[in-house]
């Protein structure tokens, strides 16, 4: 990789002691592994608006169908300050490839943030962190995830796939989009999209085949469709379908024994007997023996650095 990704991150997830109790929520994956490929831009919105460390806890409170962020007793309302800071900060995140938020935080949680009733009895996990909400609404294409969910191998691989894909898109935009570049971009991402959402694979192909849409609108609709498709987590079934499509490119090259070997490896993966890496490694081996320029360019085979070992566990 020529350059590192730029990724926004809640400062506590980077291990900075910025929480109300001087604690942190360090993500070992982000700090110890992903940092080899990314420059993080940490932010603590609560400190950014002037709250000290340590500080009284704040929470989301529902009163008259309006959610505010304040101390548990309702004092020290910082809703407007967090909102304004989020809006200003989000306008400068156009060069980010992704964002990692701190789960359950009243400022940074992406979802399921506790919203307390104003009378203090009970809560519902229906809120979105005020800062996170601004970032996501003003940057709808930006891949976002929470620290805790990155411990799940499928969610982790999905997020990392999205940030590396989005970085490629940012690079394409910076180089100047043309119809040819757009079609080439889609061409190398086709099987990646298929592995996540086969209908989007078809829809994006049809979209690029249209001649009645201006280039800027076409590009905007394409990347919106692509990033939405990649939010779907690839399953064993969808990976198996994609692997079988790749297998078809070798039908004239492989002898009966090699065809059976590849078929058996794909079937074993589908049955959950081995990780995705096994049939993929065999396909890559056959690509060395029987080169195919189109397949060799497919992002699906290498959507992220192998050093992250994201396809070893499922």
- Parallel, antiparallel or unpaired: strands 38-43 and 59-63: unpaired
Whole-angstrom distance, CA of residue 116 vs CA of residue 231 = 30
In 3D space, the residue among 68, 59, 234, 86 whose CA is nearest the CA of residue 156 turns out to be 234
Whole-angstrom distance, CA of residue 19 vs CA of residue 59 = 13
pLDDT at residue number 2: 62
pLDDT at residue number 300: 98
Report CA torsion sign: 228, 37, 138, 144: positive
pLDDT at residue number 221: 98
pLDDT at residue number 31: 96
Strand blocks (E) in the chain: 5-10, 38-43, 59-63, 66-70, 98-101, 113-117, 123-127, 144-146
pLDDT at residue number 121: 82
Whole-angstrom distance, CA of residue 219 vs CA of residue 207 = 10
Q: What angle do CA 102, 104, 109 make, to 5 degrees?
A: 55
3 state DSSP class of 88: helix
For 270, counting Cβ atoms within 10 Å of its Cβ (0-12 exposed, 13-18 middle, 19+ buried), the class is middle
- Which strand (E) or helix (H) includes residue 277? helix 277-289
List the alpha helices (DSSP H) in 209-252.
215-231, 236-247
pLDDT at residue number 276: 95
pLDDT in tens, the chain (314 residues): 568 999 999 999 999 999 999 999 999 999 999 999 999 999 999 999 999 999 999 999 999 899 999 999 999 999 999 999 999 999 999 999 999 999 999 999 999 999 999 887 889 999 999 999 999 999 999 999 999 999 999 999 999 999 999 999 999 999 999 999 999 999 999 999 999 999 999 999 999 999 999 999 999 999 999 999 999 999 999 999 999 999 999 999 999 999 999 999 999 999 999 999 999 999 999 999 999 999 999 999 999 999 999 987 67
Domain ranges of the chain: 5-151, 152-314
In 3D space, the residue among 89, 104, 101, 106 whose CA is nearest the CA of residue 145 turns out to be 101
pLDDT at residue number 3: 83
């Amino acid at each position: 990789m020529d350059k590192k990704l730029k990724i926004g991150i809640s400062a506590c997830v980077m291990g900075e002691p910025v929480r109300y109790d001087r604690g942190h929520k360090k993500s070992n994956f982000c700090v110890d592994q992903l940092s080899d490929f990314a420059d993080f831009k940490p932010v603590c919105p609560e400190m950014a608006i002037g709250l000290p460390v340590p500080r009284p806890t704040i929470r989301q409170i529902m009163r008259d169908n309006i959610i505010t962020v304040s101390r548990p007793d309702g004092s020290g309302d910082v809703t407007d300050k967090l909102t304004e800071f989020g809006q200003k900060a989000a306008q400068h995140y156009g060069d980010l490839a992704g964002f990692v938020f701190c789960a359950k935080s009243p400022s940074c949680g992406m979802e399921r943030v506790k919203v307390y009733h104003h009378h203090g009895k009970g809560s519902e996990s229906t809120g979105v962190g005020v800062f996170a909400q601004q970032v996501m609404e003003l940057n709808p294409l930006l891949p976002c995830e929470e620290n805790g969910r990155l411990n799940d191998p499928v969610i982790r691989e999905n997020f990392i796939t999205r940030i590396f894909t989005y970085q490629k898109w940012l690079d394409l935009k910076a180089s100047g989009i043309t119809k040819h570049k757009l079609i080439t971009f889609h061409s190398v991402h086709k099987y990646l999209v298929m592995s996540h959402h086969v209908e989007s694979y078809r829809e994006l192909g049809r979209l690029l085949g249209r001649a009645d849409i201006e280039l800027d609108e076409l590009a905007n609709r394409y990347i919106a469709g692509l990033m939405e498709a990649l939010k779907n987590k690839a399953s064993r079934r969808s990976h198996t379908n994609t692997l079988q499509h790749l297998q078809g490119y070798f039908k004239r090259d492989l002898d009966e024994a090699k065809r059976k070997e590849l078929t058996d490896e794909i079937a074993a993966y589908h049955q959950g007997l081995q990780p995705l890496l096994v049939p993929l490694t065999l396909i890559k081996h056959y690509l060395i023996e029987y080169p195919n320029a189109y397949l060799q360019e497919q992002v699906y085979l290498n959507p992220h650095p192998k050093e992250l070992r994201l396809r070893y566990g499922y």
